[in-house]
Amino acid sequence: MDNPLLTHIPSLATKALYYEVAISPKPGLVDRFDNGAHSDMNFFTFINSIESLAPYFYSYYQLGFEHASDLASLFTKLRKQGVEAENKMLTATKGINTHKGANFSFAVLLGATGFYMQTHSFPFSSKDTSAILKLVAKMTHHLVQYDFSKITQKDQLSHGEKLYMKAGTLGVRGEAAKGYPALSHLLLPFLRQHASYTDTETLLLRGLVLLMSQIEDSNLLHRGGTEGWQQVKQHSTSIYHSSLNNTDFNLALTKFNQELIKKNLSPGGAADLLGLGIYFSFLENII
Ligand SMILES: CC(C)(COP(=O)(O)OP(=O)(O)OC[C@H]1O[C@@H](n2cnc3c(N)ncnc32)[C@H](O[C@H]2O[C@H](COP(=O)(O)OP(=O)(O)OP(=O)(O)O)[C@@H](O)[C@H]2O)[C@@H]1O)[C@@H](O)C(=O)NCCC(=O)NCCS
Ligand SMILES: Nc1ncnc2[nH]cnc12
């Protein structure tokens, strides 16, 4: 490989997933302190999962960087690799879904980043991030209709597909098709605004709470229904707007974690989006 960015940029995606699982205390999620509301995975399951996905992150970026045709055909190539990566991840975790959503999202984001880097240079500004998110929207705009139109022919449905049948919830496919508005309109503006914050872990935890206060998280929906999801949104909104100092904020998250463990609720979609936001924060030198 003669271009150092071919390894550097995908390695930032891997590092972003390590950051995401490591930051603590996270409500309902796996972190350094405990497994949140998960009985089937722990911190080490995430390490195994990330290690299994890392080689694919290089492939996604390279596929984009070498792609000379339209975005729809790039998506077809990425999806083929993505399915293989998902299987490797499930083998590494003994069948547990640690990063299904993150693998999908990084496939399209790294593919789009590689494609974009054919004609642009590093480091990034917010304009570069925004251009990449627009490429992702173009690449995946057909996906919701394409995947969900075949749903009735399937014997087994994923949690996301069941939610679509029940309530029209679009999940991670909808996020991608809209160009990840939770990143462009919510998380990244917040992180950019607080780029001078020296306590990175607390900054990212505050970003997570902001996401939890607003996004439609299909993981919360399938575990807790609309009521569970709304409760998490309300509690997150109240913590976010309470202007707590770092010590009290940490205490509030520790209590929130206990509540979510009791209710068996986990904001897995917000965790995945945080991981994606950390990737762009590295690219833009925010953290
Ligand atoms: C496109 C697929 C990845 C779609 O999968 P699925 O049909 O399951 O659809 P979704 O539910 O929409 O999404 C999958 C995961 O995405 C995360 N997610 C949820 N909401 C959002 C959101 N608003 N924004 C972004 N991401 C979101 C979420 O991942 C987290 O939850 C995981 C645990 O989930 P789950 O197993 O459902 O829940 P558990 O409670 O653990 O299960 P039980 O124990 O109760 O059984 C957690 O680890 C996070 O990762 C959703 O799970 C897929 O079908 C696909 O196309 N795969 C092909 C391969 C591929 O990715 N190709 C890439 C190139 S295109
Ligand atoms: N830290 C985490 N805990 C549980 N589910 C997750 N999905 C993505 N990151 C997660």
**Among all chains, which residue has been given the structure tokens 């979609």?**
269
pLDDT surpassing 70 at residue 268: yes
Q: Quick one: which ligand is closest to 42's CA?
A: 2
Cα dist from 192 to 80, 188, 197, 285, whole Å? 34, 6, 10, 9
CA 232 to chain centre: 18
Continuous H helices in 241-267:
246-263
Expressed in angstroms and rounded, the spacing between residue 244 Cα and the centre of ligand 1 is: 32
Ligand that comes closest to the CA of residue 218: 1
User: Minimum mean pLDDT among 43-52, 150-159, 207-216: which range?
Assistant: 150-159
Burial (Cβ within 10 Å: 0-12, 13-18, ≥19) of residue 61? buried
- What does the pLDDT look like over 122-168, one tens digit per residue? 889 999 999 999 999 999 999 888 888 888 888 888 888 888 888 88
Mean pLDDT within 5-17: 95
99 contacts 71 by C-beta, under 8 angstroms: no
162 Cβ inside 6 Å of ligand 1:
no
Structure tokens at 12: 């930032």
Spatial neighbors of 69 by CB under 8 A, at least 6 apart, are: none
**Is the distance from the beta carbon of residue 45 to the nearest atom of ligand 1 less than 6 Å?**
no
CA distance from start to end of the chain: 27
5-283 sits in which CATH class? mainly alpha
Here the tokens at position 6 are 């071919």
CB 260 within 8 A of CB 37: yes
Contact between 111 and 61 (Cβ < 8 Å) = yes
Ligand 1 centroid from CA 268, angstroms: 8
Radius of gyration from C-alpha coordinates of the chain: 18
Whole-number pLDDT of residue 1? 46
What number is the average pLDDT over the span 197-220? Answer: 96
Residue 272 CA, closest ligand 2 atom number: 8
Work out the average pLDDT over 215-238: 96
For residue 123, what are the contacts with CB-CB under 8 A and spacing of at least 6?
283, 284, 285
Angstrom distance (rounded) from CA 80 to CA 102 = 16
Q: How confident is the model at residue 2 (pLDDT cuts 50, 70, 90)?
A: low
Average pLDDT over residues 44-54: 98
Ligand 2 site residues (CB inside 6 A) read 20-21, 29-30, 36, 38, 266, 268, 271-272
Q: How far is the CA of 39 from the centre of ligand 2 (A)?
A: 12
Spell out the domain ranges in the chain: 5-283
